Chain A
Amino acid sequence: MSLKSYAEEIAKCSHCNFCQATCPVFLEDILETHEPRARMELVRKALIEKSIPVSDRLKEIIDRCLLCTCCTQTCPAGVPVHEIIVAAREELYHGKRMNIAMRYILNKVMDDRGVHGVMGKLNALAGKLGMLDEIPTPAPKAFEKRYKGTYTSEGERRARVAYYVGCATNSFNIDTGEDTVMVLRKNGIEVVIPEKLVCCGMPALGEGDLDKARELMGKNIEILSKLDVDAIVVDCTSCGLMLKVEGPKLFTREDPLKEKAEALAAKVWEVTDYLSMMGLTAKPSPLELEFTYHVPCHRWMTKTVKDAPRTLLAQIPGATLVEMENPELCCGAGGGFFMEHRELAGDIRSHKIAEVEATGVKTVITQCPGCRFFINAPLKEHRVRHPVSILADAYR
Chain B
Amino acid sequence: MKGLAKDLERLLPKERVHTDPEDLITYGNDATYHVCPLGHPDAVVTPETSEQVSRVVRYANEKEIPLVPRGGGTGLSGGCTPTAGGIVIDVKRMRNLVELNRGNLTAEVESGMVTATFQRIVEKEHLFYPPDPQSMKVSTIGGNVSTRAGGPRAVKYGTTGNYVLGLEVVLPDGEVIRTGSKCSKSSVGYDLTHLYTGSEGTLGVITKAILRLVPLPPARRTVLVTCESIEQSGNIVSAVIGSGLVPAMIELISGGAAAAMTSMLPEPYPPGESHLLIEMDGTETEIETLTGKLKDLCTERGALNIRIVEDPKAARAYWEAREKLYGMILMMAKKGIVEDITVPRDRIPDFVRAVKDIGVRLQMNPATGMMVGLGGHAGDGNMHPTIFFLQEANQEREEKAKAAIEEIVKTGLAMGGTISGEHGIGIHKAEFLPLELGRIQIEVMKRIKHAIDPKNIMNPGKIWVNGGTL
Contact = CB atoms under 8 A, between A and B. Distances in A.
Interface stretch (B26-34, B220-228, B280-288): B26-34
Interface in B19-63: 20-23, 25-27, 29-34, 46
A52 B25 contact: yes
A15 B27 CA distance: 12
Contacts of B73: 17, 20, 32
A38 B74 CA distance: 13
A20 B72 contact: yes
Given A32-B27, A42-B22, A45-B25, A17 B72 contact: yes
B382 to A, nearest CB: 18
A61 interface: yes
B81 to A, nearest CB: 11
B137 interface: yes
Contact of A17 (B31, B329, B331): B31
B406 to A, nearest CB: 24
Interface stretch (B320-328, B356-364, B396-404): B320-328
Contacts of A55: 20-22
Interface residues of A, number: 28
Interface string A48-91: 00001001011001000000000000011110000000000000
B26 A18 contact: no
B92 interface: yes
A61 B23 CA distance: 10
Contacts of A15: 29-34
B101 to A, nearest CB: 23
A18 B23 CA distance: 19
Nearest to B134: A16
Interface in A7-66: 11-18, 20-21, 30-33, 37-38, 41-42, 45, 52, 55, 57-58, 61
Interface string B121-155: 00000000000000101100000000000000000
A29 to B, nearest CB: 9
Closest 7 CB pairs of A and B: A76-B327, A76-B324, A16-B327, A15-B33, A38-B26, A21-B137, A33-B26
7 contacts: A15-B34, A16-B327, A17-B30, A17-B74, A17-B135, A31-B23, A77-B331
B92 A16 contact: no
Contacts of A16: 31, 74, 135, 324, 326-327
Interface of B: 18, 20-23, 25-27, 29-34, 46, 72-74, 90, 92-93, 95, 114, 116, 135, 137-138, 324-331, 336
A148 to B, nearest CB: 41
B20 A57 contact: yes
Secondary structure at the B interface, as helix, strand, loop or mixed, is loop
Contacts of B22: 33, 38, 42, 52, 55, 57-58, 61
A4 B448 CA distance: 51
Contacts of B137: 18, 21
A214 to B, nearest CB: 29
B329 A14 contact: yes
Contacts of B138: 17-18, 20-21
A31 B48 CA distance: 12
Interface of A: 11-18, 20-21, 30-33, 37-38, 41-42, 45, 52, 55, 57-58, 61, 75-78
Given A12-B330, A15-B30, A18-B327, A31 B18 contact: yes
A13 B72 contact: no
B330 A13 contact: yes
Contacts of B74: 16-17
B327 A77 contact: yes
Contacts of A21: 114, 116, 137-138
A14 B34 contact: yes
A12 B33 CA distance: 12
B326 A14 contact: yes
A33 B327 contact: no
A242 B179 CA distance: 55
Nearest to A21: B137
B385 to A, nearest CB: 17
B327 A75 contact: yes
A166 B88 CA distance: 47
Given A20-B73, A55-B20, A61-B22, 4 more contacts: A12-B330, A17-B135, A33-B18, A75-B327
A262 B137 CA distance: 36
Q: Which of B26, B46, B73, B114 has the most CB of A within 10 A?
A: B26
A55 B300 CA distance: 65
A77 B325 CA distance: 9
Contacts of B46: 30-31
Contacts of A57: 20-22
Nearest to A15: B33
